[in-house]
Amino acid sequence: MSRINDILLRKGNTAISVLPQTSVFNALKVMAENNIGSVVVMQDEKFLGIITERDYSRKVVLKGKNSTDTKVNEIMTSEFPLLKPTDTVEYCMELMTKNNIRYLPVFDGKNLGGIISISDVVKETILSQQQTIDHLHDYIHS
């Protein structure tokens, strides 16, 4: 059974972050430059939240706000279910589905251990299934 730590070991645990007073426009530029759909909001090495493209579309565009005047701390999501490196990928999938979220911070104690995206979960599930298929194939042919 795959664990969240398996994903973090493969992809790394570095999360791209911005300060809470960063404009939404500049946060979107950071996302575009790094080809990612979210950035972590941190201050003094403390996790404050995550801002996503979904936050931008729903909390800025649809509300008629200006992305250069709006700060990320005004629209970031800060409440997340707890996800630990030792949790299973299946548990992470349940949390994402139940809470309708695409990104989850992983905490190792009080420290941010990385970010898991729905894409990471899908890739890990496919890898796990392929390993099972390979194992069964080897078993049948030995």
Q: What is the pLDDT of residue 68?
A: 95
Mind listing the pLDDT tens digit for each residue in 33-68?
999 999 999 999 999 999 999 999 999 999 999 999
Comparing 117 with 142, which gets the higher pLDDT? 117
- What gap in Å lies between CA 12 and CA 116, rounded to an integer? 10
Q: Comparing 26-30, 73-77, 92-96, 109-113, which segment has the lowest mean pLDDT?
A: 109-113
What are the E-state strand segments in the chain? 17-18, 38-43, 46-52, 103-108, 111-117
Q: What is the pLDDT of residue 128?
A: 80
Q: What is the pTM of this model?
A: 0.85
- The CATH number assigned to the domain with range 4-140 reads 3.10.580.10
DSSP string, 45-86: TEEEEEEEHHHHIIIIITTT--TTTSBHHHH-B-------TT
Q: What is the mean pLDDT of the chain?
A: 93
Token duo for residue 36 = 């990612």
User: E strand or H helix at 126, and its extent?
Assistant: helix 118-140
Contacts of 99 (CB under 8 A, 6+ apart): 80, 81
Contacts of 67 (CB under 8 A, 6+ apart): 23, 24, 25, 28, 56, 60
- 1, pLDDT greater than 80: no
Q: What is the pLDDT of residue 112?
A: 94
